[in-house]
Structure 1
Amino acid sequence: MKHLLIEYMKQFTDHSDAELSDMIKDIPVNQFKKGDLLLSQGDTPEQCYFILKGCIRQYAVDEHGNEHTSNFYTENQSVTIFNQHRHDKASPYALECLEDTVVIGGDLATEQTAYDEHPELESMTRKMIEQDFGTMRADFSSFLSSTPEERYQALVRNRPELLTRVPQYQLASYLGVKPESLSRIKKRLEKEATTLDD
């Protein structure tokens, strides 16, 4: 399944498939079951991931025991918790597999060794991270300035697969509303769509 990572990497480099295959030959492919926790809130992250198959939820639990979902990651997305600015290096988030998931895992402790062996890999990784950050920043800005209904419409437009892959209460948490509010939004939009079709 590493060919999926190679196809993704080709967006950021002119290297051949053989060269890219050599760069990632020592990176392990890991399989996890639905419900597996890849990282607990408060732990120090030791791995970053690239998803070949499956879905991972990023969430945090507040002091009252309420879960707050902040992101979902699916195929061809990287999952990294950036926490180097924290003095204790503790992750503010947990990572949970919502489906049986296959990932390529990168060991953060040996990252520099891989860069020393393949200097071009560092440049490629930086480009990938910059793209991820750009997308996250745009999504966050849009999220802050939109209503719950607009957030739901953006989700339908940009990531419709999540509607069938993620439990509704987690989608509601991600959108910043209660599950019953999400149900009302969906019903209202469905009714409007039906009215327009008549």
Structure 2
Amino acid sequence: MNHNRFLEYIKPYISLTSEEEKFLMTKVVVRNYLKNQYIVQQGDVCKSANFIISGCTKTFYIDLEGNEHVVMFSVEDWWASDLGSFITQAPADFNVQCLENTQLIQFSYENLEELYVQIPKLERLFRKIIERAFVASQKRIIRNFSLDAKERYLIFKNTYPKIDKRVPQYLIASYLGITKEFFSKIKSQLVQKE
């Protein structure tokens, strides 16, 4: 059952034979994490690409003053990893922590490289996933430069309604790059307008 969610996820990108599906599933691990557990910690090498079956994670950076900066949330059918660390097998810049009990399908670096050789169309799948992530990242950078905090929040709320309801407000404030007090002020302004 856990594998089925991932197999459904990849169908819009590539078509696998039943033999390819079976081989693919021999190269993944299904793993459960508890709320607050880390999947990746800053400074460690990210050992797996992680597809979320159920649950929610945050990807964040802790600066030299100990401040937390949230860069991403991930929920079902999303990926949660430090991609730069995973690709280069160098120490991670980011932490990935579970905000809920979370179940993942994990691909180790070695197994993914083997899958690319055995099932070349998987390279297309992961290229498309990385392209989408890159575009989303660039759009976020542009929004951060060109929009005020209220506009950024409205886009976040409309784009990710499931996340807005599942994630503590202070973490959304961090994601938006504002204080929780300022975020609270924005939310009360929006409530007054309704």
Q: Decide: shared fold, TM above 0.5.
A: yes
Quick one: percent identity of the two aligned structures?
28
Name structure 2 gaps, 5 residues minimum.
Answer: none
Pair 29,114 (structure 1): closer, same or farther in 2 beyond 3 Å = same
Alpha-carbon distance in structure 1 between the residues aligned to 2:15 and 2:24: 16
Paired position in structure 2 for 1:112: 113
Alpha-carbon distance in structure 1 between the residues aligned to 2:134 and 2:8: 20
**Aligned residue runs from structure 1 range 13-162, under 5 A:** 13-15=14-16, 18-19=18-19, 21-26=21-26, 27-83=28-84, 89-162=90-163
Paired position in structure 2 for 1:192: 193
Contact kept? 2:81, 2:96, Cα under 8 Å: no
Q: How many pairs were matched up?
A: 192
* Shift in Å, 1:168: 1.3
Alpha-carbon distance in structure 1 between the residues aligned to 2:96 and 2:35: 12
Pair 147,61 (structure 1): closer, same or farther in 2 beyond 3 Å = same
Contact kept? 2:57, 2:74, Cα under 8 Å: yes
- More deviation in 105-114 or 83-92? 83-92
**Alpha-carbon RMSD:** 2.1
* Shift in Å, 1:167: 1.2
Name structure 1 gaps, 5 residues minimum.
Answer: 194-198
* Shift in Å, 1:113: 1.4
Contact kept? 2:62, 2:68, Cα under 8 Å: yes
* Shift in Å, 1:58: 0.5
Pair 110,14 (structure 1): closer, same or farther in 2 beyond 3 Å = closer
Alpha-carbon distance in structure 2 between the residues aligned to 1:124 and 1:68: 30
TM-score under structure 2 length normalisation: 0.90
- Secondary structure in 2 aligned to 1:103? strand
Structure holding more helix per residue: 2
TM-score under structure 1 length normalisation: 0.89
Contact kept? 2:48, 2:109, Cα under 8 Å: yes
Counterpart AA for 1:2: H
Considering only CA atoms, is the larger Rg found in Structure 1 or Structure 2?
1
Alpha-carbon distance in structure 1 between the residues aligned to 2:175 and 2:10: 29
- More deviation in 137-146 or 51-60? 137-146
Over residues 2-35 of structure 1, what are the superposed CA-to-partner deviations in whole Å (9 max), with x where a residue is unaligned?
A: 111111101111335x355324211111111101
Contact kept? 1:31, 1:103, Cα under 8 Å: yes
Alpha-carbon distance in structure 2 between the residues aligned to 1:73 and 1:15: 26
